[in-house]
């Protein structure tokens, strides 16, 4: 057991070889299918870092969030929260640690208890963890609501009386009221209109600068992940394809999937649209229930070779230790360029 000497050296979250399989089908008959939602991923989040986890539907990004917050138990791998192994903690043993990790969901219409007032919703975590007196709690809640930009008079309102943006602020206030070390945000702005989304993203960055929490930000929107993240991991079919800093990922994406994803994202800039050759992938995302040998992306990859169909590439750093890619074709000398291919 390595006992950390300096608090800053322990990552807030350390995930190693995380696997989560769901089985579907009847328990009685033989025809059971295994859905490989997450199939062996590593992820580290440092103190005060915002890590974006981006992927399309079925990539397993939300399952990672559920495992990290221990809303579900992983099939294999380890999860360390502030250096402590929480992979298999029972619900009772996990309970005191839950003050350190909180979650914000996508849908602000179903993530707040409709029978509680805003004040009750935000103070509930304090009550459950027995923090402070009634008076202390009241002032903490007020302070938190103020930080998230909610007017005091909204305290006694019910969720249905609030707009989508206000509800998401309440969800943020609740998630942060115990000052957790880690916040898992699962598509927190995807259900919101663009102008409201902008204000929520601003609040998240403001709060992060103010309170210094780390954040696992799960989303399918590239522009959002580019705006908010320090580091980004791209997921596809339960595996991380590429992981690096924000600047590097958008400047020089290496993995063919990342390149296709960036190219497919509609850009609100007609000049850029015309300048770029669009990479349109053929086919669909394969079902995560099918067992696929080799690289998960080989069925749609325009540059796949025989090796991609048989051998699963590991997520490794090629030239730069800060830039890790799971692709056979990416080497220290360079990466395939799908843009050039599309132009040709």
Partner 1 sequence: MSTIAAAPAAATTSAVLEVDRLHVEFSTEGGCVMAVKDVSFTLGRGEILALVGESGCGKSTVAMSIPRLLGDTRARIEGSIRLDGVDLATLSERQMRHVRGKDISVVFQEPMTSLNPAYTIGRQIVEVIRQHEKVKRSAAMRRAVELLALVGIPDARRRLSAFPHELSGGMRQRVMIAIAVACDPKVIIADEPTTALDVTIQAGVLDIFRRLRDTLGTAIVLITHDLGVVAEVADSVAVMYAGRVVEQCSTGEIFARPAHPYTRGLLGALPSRALMRGGRRRLADIAGVVPPPTVDPDECQFAPRCPRATAACVAARPPLAPFVPGHRVACIHAGGEETA
Partner 2 sequence: MTAAVSAVVPARPRPQWRRIARRFLHRPMAIVGLVLVLAFIALAVVGPMLTSDPDLQDFQVVLSPPSLAHPLGTDDLGRDVLARVANGARVSLLAGVVSTAIALVVGITLGLISGFYRGWFDAVLGRIVDVLLAFPFLIFAVGLAAILGASLTNVIAALAISQVPAVIRIARGEAMSIRDQEYVSGAIADGSRDGAIILKYVLPNAASAFIVQATVAIPAAIIGEATLSFLGLGVQPPNASWGILLTGAQQYLAQAPYLAVFPGLAIALTTLGFNLLGDGLRDALDPKGHR
Task: Report the partner that residue 282 touches, choosing among partner 1, partner 2, none (CB closer than 5 to 8 A by kind).
Answer: partner 1
Q: Quote the least distance from Cβ 185 to partner 2, whole Å.
A: 12
Candidate ranges 7-15, 74-82, 94-102, 293-301; the one touching partner 2 (CB under 8 A): 94-102
Min CB(264)–partner 1 separation in Å: 4
Count of residues near partner 2 by CB under 8 A: 44
DSSP-assigned states of every residue in 252-285: S--SHHHHHHHHHS--S-HHHHHHSPP----S-P
Q: Contacting partner 2 (CB under 8 A), which of 4, 96, 293, 334?
A: 96
Pattern of binders to partner 2 over 192-231, x per CB under 8 A? Answer: -------x--xx--x-------------------------
CB of 146 to partner 2, least distance (A): 6
**Which residue in the set 42, 56, 107, 337 belongs to the binding site for partner 2 (CB under 8 A)?**
107
With a CB cutoff of 8 Å and minimum separation 6, the contacts of 229 are 50, 51, 52, 217, 246
Residues 138, 117: contact at Cβ < 8 Å?
no
Least distance between partner 2 and beta carbon 73 (Å): 13
Both ends of the chain: CA-CA distance in Å? 55
**129: its two tokens:** 């963890």
As given in the structure block, the two tokens for residue 315 are 């997520």
Q: Determine the 3-state secondary structure of 73 from DSSP.
A: coil
Question: If you search the block for the tokens 């079919």, which residue do you land on?
Answer: 237
Query: Measured between alpha carbons, how far is 50 from 52 in angstroms, rounded to an integer?
Result: 6
| DSSP H/E element including 34 | strand 33-45
235: left (phi over 0), alpha (psi -120 to 50) or beta: beta
Q: CB-wise, 133 or 282, nearer to partner 1?
A: 282
Pair 194, 145: CB distance under 8 Å = no
Q: Which residues bind partner 1 (CB under 8 A)?
A: 56-57, 163, 193-199, 201-202, 205, 209, 220-224, 226-228, 260-261, 263-270, 273, 278, 280-285
Region of 14-22, 102-110, 190-198, 217-225 interacting with partner 2 (CB under 8 A): 102-110
The two tokens of residue 58 are 């079925």
Q: Is 113 in the site for partner 2 (CB under 8 A)?
A: yes
Q: Which residues bind partner 2 (CB under 8 A)?
A: 69, 71, 91, 94-99, 101-103, 105, 107, 110-117, 119, 124-125, 128-129, 146, 149-153, 155-156, 158, 160, 171, 174, 178, 199, 202-203, 206
């Amino acid at each position: 057991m390595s006992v950390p000497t300096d608090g800053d050296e322990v990552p807030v979250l350390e995930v190693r070889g995380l696997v989560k399989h769901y089985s579907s089908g009847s328990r009685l008959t033989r025809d059971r299918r295994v859905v490989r939602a997450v199939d062996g991923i590593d992820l580290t989040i440092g103190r005060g870092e915002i890590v974006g986890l981006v992927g399309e539907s079925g990539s397993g990004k939300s399952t990672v969030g559920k495992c990290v917050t221990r809303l579900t138990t992983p099939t294999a791998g380890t999860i360390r929260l502030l250096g402590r192994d929480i992979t298999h903690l029972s619900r009772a043993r996990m309970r005191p640690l839950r003050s350190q990790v909180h979650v914000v969901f996508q849908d602000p219409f179903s993530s707040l208890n409709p029978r509680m007032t805003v004040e009750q919703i935000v103070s509930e975590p304090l009550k459950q963890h027995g923090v402070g007196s009634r008076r202390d709690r009241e002032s903490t809640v007020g302070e938190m609501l103020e930080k998230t930009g909610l007017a005091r008079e909204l305290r006694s309102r019910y969720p249905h009386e609030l707009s989508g943006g206000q509800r998401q602020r309440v969800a943020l206030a609740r998630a942060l009221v115990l000052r957790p070390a880690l916040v898992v945000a699962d598509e927190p702005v995807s259900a919101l209109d663009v102008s409201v989304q902008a204000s929520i993203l601003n609040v998240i960055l403001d709060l992060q600068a103010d309170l210094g929490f780390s954040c696992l930000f799960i989303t399918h929107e590239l522009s959002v992940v580019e705006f908010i993240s320090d580091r980004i991991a791209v997921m596809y079919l339960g595996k991380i394809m590429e992981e690096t800093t924000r600047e590097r990922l958008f400047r020089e994406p290496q993995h063919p999937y990342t390149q296709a994803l960036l190219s497919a994202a509609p850009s609100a800039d007609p000049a850029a649209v015309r300048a770029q050759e669009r990479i349109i992938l053929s086919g669909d995302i394969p079902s995560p229930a099918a067992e696929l040998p080799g690289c998960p992306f080989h069925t749609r990859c325009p540059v796949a070779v025989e090796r991609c169909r048989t051998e699963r590439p590991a997520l490794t750093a090629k030239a730069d230790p800060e830039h890790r890619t799971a692709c056979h074709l990416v080497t220290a000398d360079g990466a395939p360029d799908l843009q050039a291919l599309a132009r040709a």
